[in-house]
Amino acid sequence: MTRHYIWDPLLRLFHWSLAGIFITNALFTDPESTLHETLGYAIAALLVIRLVWGMVGPHAARFTSFLPNRAGIRDQLTDIATGRRRVHLMHTPLGALMIFNLLLTLAAIVATGVMMTTNAFWGVDWVEELHEALVSWAEVSVLLHVGAVLFESLRTGVNLPRAMVTGVKSVPEGAKIEP
């Protein structure tokens, strides 16, 4: 195995904090409670930190380092279909799509949550319905994300959950590595 340091401590702290707070807020808090609102603001703060880190952080944290494109997505889907095993040191193209999906969805959840606390949108049904639909979409996305991480870990031989804990990807010897 070759070891590659990829994920910095701030990125890992963001990831696990966001995951924990989202799960807690979506599944365990009363949506009418102050705790639910406070955790929503914590998610907003994390998203702002990630946005800044995505522009000024280390290379692997920068959004420009993992922008998905059609060719990359096609290549990854072809790899999956044909059993070809290429390891991406950073995010795979499909993984990058999921990251952008989750970040934008969470930002929209925060926006609609804040809207519901304002006089202009207090009691407006479509705002609450959109907020709830976005939470449902985020929950589905998280399940797909976790499933894809487990699938890719098995398919490529790289323990992706461990890499997001330690910051280090251990790549099997002889594996074709994509930057």
CATH of residue 104: 1.20.950.20
pLDDT value of position 178: 84
Question: What is the domain count for the chain?
Answer: 1
pLDDT value of position 174: 86
Please report, as a single letter, which amino acid is at residue 62.
Answer: R
pLDDT value of position 88: 94
Interatomic CA distance for residues 122 and 118, integer angstroms: 6
What's the pLDDT tens digit per position in 124-154?
A: 999 999 999 999 999 999 999 999 999 999 9
Residue 74 in this model has a pLDDT that exceeds 80: yes
pTM: 0.94
State the DSSP code for 122: T
Instruction: Evaluate whether 51 touches 73 at the Cβ level (below 8 Å).
Output: no
For 85, the token pair is: 């095993």
Interatomic CA distance for residues 50 and 157, integer angstroms: 28
Confidence of residue 45 (pLDDT cuts 50, 70, 90): very high
Query: What range does the domain containing 38 cover?
Result: 2-178
Residue 179 in this model has a pLDDT that exceeds 90: no
Percent of the chain with pLDDT over 70: 100
For 55, the token pair is: 């522009």
Residue 14 in this model has a pLDDT that exceeds 90: yes
Task: Classify residue 169 by burial, with Cβ atoms within 10 Å: 0-12, 13-18, 19+.
Answer: buried
Residue 98 in this model has a pLDDT that exceeds 80: yes
Interatomic CA distance for residues 87 and 152, integer angstroms: 9
